[in-house]
Amino acid sequence: MTPPADTSTLPWQIEKIDFSRIQLDRIRDNQTMFYLLTASSFIESGADLYTSNLVDFFAADPEVAAWLAQHWEHEEMQHGRALRMYVQYVWPDFAWQDAFESFLQEYGKLCTTEELEATPAQELAARCVVETGTSSLYRAINACTDEPVLREIADHIRRDEVSHYKNFYHFFLRYRQEQKLSRLATFGTLARRLLELRNSDAEIALRHVFAYRQPQGTAAEQADINKRVTSLIRRNLPIEMTVKMLLKPLQLSPRWQKSLQWPLSGLTQIFMRVPL
């Protein structure tokens, strides 16, 4: 999808980022970060594939559909453009467009309405999990680099993802009441989507990045890259914040939240294993 005609409506403008300030000596030799950022740029750049499904899913709700089409999608696509520009500036020899098109051929098959939850309330709860994952990811990226332009971009994206979470949560509360979604059903949706974070999107993206970065590479080398990316995220993941965001849709009492904090912290580190 093309950018909005009036980019001033976005929370930040990519045109204001000075990519010439990138300190190449702090990032260029970091191959783990290359794979993490490039895979993330692929997923963000494919946002229009699943946004259209969500707009159709919420077509009967003008408020939700309008926000998705007029705000969320444009902001997600700007994330993809910013990350792509960064990757291409730091690693200009990588065939980003060719690798991305290869990724889309596989990724597009997963972006179907069948992948959405059964009800609007459950889908909104699931979106809260996804936005928790993305906001945590970009906070982790910000924490594990000292390259100033990357930190600026990661912070912009993190703020957007937190804002997206708040909007999805706001809509979720309305639908939860209207559809009388139980806490148990909500928990089931959250748990199911958390389990799914281990699969599909990020692993597909990493595989296509690897295929174009190391065309003669072995399966063992690819597995090592996945492991290094996972380790980088885990070491820098803001666990406490992530767990609080995951638990919020359950609307638990403070006592129950505190009792679940510790076991969920361990599970979060297990399942937040690759970029989202």
Greater confidence (186 vs 262) lies with 186
Q: For residues 196 and 176, what is the distance between their CA atoms, to the nearest angstrom?
A: 22
CB 152 within 8 A of CB 216: no
pLDDT confidence of residue 260: 65
Average pLDDT, rounded, for the chain: 88
- Region 214-241 average pLDDT: 90
pLDDT confidence of residue 145: 96
pLDDT confidence of residue 167: 97
Q: Alpha carbon 159 to chain centroid distance? A: 12
Confidence of residue 272 (pLDDT cuts 50, 70, 90): low
Confidence of residue 7 (pLDDT cuts 50, 70, 90): low
Q: For residues 207 and 204, what is the distance between their CA atoms, to the nearest angstrom?
A: 5
pLDDT confidence of residue 240: 81
Domain range summary for the chain, segments of one domain joined by +? 28-271
pLDDT confidence of residue 237: 83
For the chain, give the percent of residues with pLDDT over 70.
88
Of 79, 85, 111, give the one whose Cα is nearest residue 97.
85
Greater confidence (2 vs 10) lies with 10
Q: Is 60 exceeded by the pLDDT of residue 267? A: no
The least confident of 3-12, 19-28, 52-61 is: 3-12
Q: For residues 229 and 276, what is the distance between their CA atoms, to the nearest angstrom?
A: 12
Task: Domain 28-271: give its CATH code.
Answer: 1.10.620.20
CB 208 within 8 A of CB 99: yes
pLDDT confidence of residue 109: 86
Greater confidence (256 vs 76) lies with 76
Confidence of residue 54 (pLDDT cuts 50, 70, 90): very high
Of 60, 42, 82, give the one whose Cα is nearest residue 211.
42
Please state the pTM of the whole predicted model.
Answer: 0.89
Q: Is 70 exceeded by the pLDDT of residue 261? A: no
Measured distance between the N- and C-terminal CA atoms of the chain, rounded to whole angstroms:
20
Q: Is 90 exceeded by the pLDDT of residue 42? A: yes
pLDDT tens readout for residues 142-174 = 999 999 999 999 999 999 999 999 999 999 999
